[in-house]
């Protein structure tokens, strides 16, 4: 999986597949949360049935000293794919490409835990026991992820998405104190390029207001929060992205239609709305259900 994320032909091909098959309005770069870590030489593998596994977790200053910054040459193959897709004669044509990177907290959690974690015990212990080291780790990760996003835009991406998978494991207080400044630093590295910036996390009902202050233009909303509630909370300065529950793709077509229409209706109240699932596509999803959703969304656009 991770090797694939560094093969420009595969990145281009997999990025194009949903565009070809469903005619969606934008492509998102095929990548993985931990790509920027592998790019700077971290020994990380995606183990089947487990997720990303880091050989040498970072838990003290000596570990942190090993973490270097990201250089264009580290992600040359990824940027080749971006060039090819978005350049003159590229297969994407007028379809915009959304760049992608994992956010500092989620990257830090993988690095500190050494793998996926439900409870983030070592991560939170470090955050609270040595806030200085934690802050330096996240600052370095913000640098790495921010630079990765910046390079994607400079090579042709029309928007970026900063993906904080695990932010929902934190209370608002801890998020604001120990994470938000670093997500903001990430966006700061891209802000002057003038592309729309999307911020997404999972289980972030408590955090939407805080996440929106990181400098993004669009706030992704997971399926647990009613989109209408999210829009009320965020106010009129933000577009929203989301938030059909991916489990609804397994329901009857009547139930699915109804749910899609509700999301679309709620979205009309926001400054802007990128229709999307409220988290990733689940492995056993019937592709026909996805096609049906795209059709409904496109039909509503003409209404």
Positions that interact with a second copy (CB under 8 A): 119-125, 128-130, 168-173, 203, 205-206, 223-226, 229, 245-248, 250-252, 254-255, 259, 282, 284
- Indicate the burial class of 51 (C-beta count within 10 angstroms; 0-12, 13-18, 19 or more): middle
Q: How many CB atoms lie within 10 A of CB 237?
A: 9
In terms of CB distance, is 59 or 199 closer to a second copy? 59
Structure tokens belonging to residue 6? 């560094």
Judged by phi (left if over 0) then psi (alpha if -120 to 50, else beta), residue 235 lies in left
In terms of CB distance, is 20 or 258 closer to a second copy? 258
Rounded least distance, CB 208 to a second copy, Å: 10
Rounded least distance, CB 88 to a second copy, Å: 41
Rounded least distance, CB 21 to a second copy, Å: 22
According to DSSP, the β-strands at 239-244 and 197-201 are: unpaired
In terms of CB distance, is 76 or 121 closer to a second copy? 121
């Amino acid at each position: 999986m991770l090797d694939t994320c560094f093969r420009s032909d595969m990145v281009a091909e997999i990025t194009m597949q949903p565009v070809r098959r469903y005619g969606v309005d934008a492509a998102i770069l095929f990548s993985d949360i931990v790509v920027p870590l592998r790019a700077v030489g971290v020994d990380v593998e995606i183990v089947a049935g487990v997720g990303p596994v880091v050989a040498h977790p970072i838990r003290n200053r000596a570990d942190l000293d090993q973490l270097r910054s990201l250089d264009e040459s580290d992600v040359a193959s990824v940027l080749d794919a971006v060039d090819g897709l978005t350049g003159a004669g590229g297969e994407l044509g007028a379809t915009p490409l959304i760049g992608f990177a994992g956010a500092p907290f989620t990257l830090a959690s993988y690095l500190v835990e050494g793998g996926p974690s439900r409870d983030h015990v070592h991560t939170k212990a470090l955050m609270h026991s040595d806030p200085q080291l934690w802050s330096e780790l996240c600052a370095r990760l913000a640098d790495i992820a921010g630079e990765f996003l910046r390079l994607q835009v400079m090579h042709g991406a029309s928007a970026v998405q900063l993906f904080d998978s695990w932010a929902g494991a934190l209370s608002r207080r801890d998020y604001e104190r120990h994470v938000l400044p670093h997500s903001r630093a990430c966006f700061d590295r891209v802000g002057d390029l003038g592309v729309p910036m999307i911020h997404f996390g999972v289980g972030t009902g408590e955090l939407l207001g805080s996440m929106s202050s990181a400098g993004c233009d669009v706030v992704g909303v997971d399926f647990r929060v009613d989109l209408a509630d999210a829009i009320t909370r965020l106010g009129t300065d933000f577009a929203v992205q989301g938030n059909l529950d991916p489990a609804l793709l397994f329901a009857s077509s009547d139930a699915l239609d109804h749910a899609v229409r509700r999301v679309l209706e709620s979205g009309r109240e926001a400054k802007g709305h990128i229709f999307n699932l409220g988290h990733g596509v689940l492995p056993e999803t019937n592709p026909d259900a996805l096609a049906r959703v795209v059709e409904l969304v496109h039909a509503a656009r003409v209404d």
